[in-house]
Amino acid sequence: MAKYSKKAQEKVAEVLHEMKEGKLKSSSGRKVTNPKQAIAIGLSEAREEGLKVPKKTSGTKKKAMKK
């Protein structure tokens, strides 16, 4: 399992709380209602702050293995 720092976990929890309050906006300015999108935003913000978050993985890895 991937390892996340406590601060990164707190950041994601904070962003999820914002989403539940209806205050979280995406980069396009629209309200975020999907929890998965909120988590992605929280992890992205944690990476920008330099917190310990695993690298992003692309979805092409699974497709390449199926061939």
Across 14-23, average pLDDT: 97
Range of the domain at 47: 1-22+31-53
Residues contacting residue 27 through CB under 8 Å, at least 6 positions apart? none
The answer to whether the CB of 45 falls within 8 A of the CB of 11 is yes
Query: Would 36 be classed as within a structural domain?
Result: yes
User: What digits encode the pLDDT tens for the residues 19-63?
Assistant: 999 999 999 999 999 999 999 999 999 999 999 998 888 766 566
- Residue 55: what pLDDT? 86
Q: Is the dihedral of CA 58, 40, 44, 46 positive or negative?
A: negative
Coil, strand or helix at 63: helix
Q: Which amino acid appears at position 8 of this protein?
A: A
How many independent structural domains does the chain possess? 1
DSSP states of 19-42: HHHT--B-TTSPBP--HHHHHHHH
Query: Would 59 be classed as within a structural domain?
Result: no
- Residue 13: what pLDDT? 97
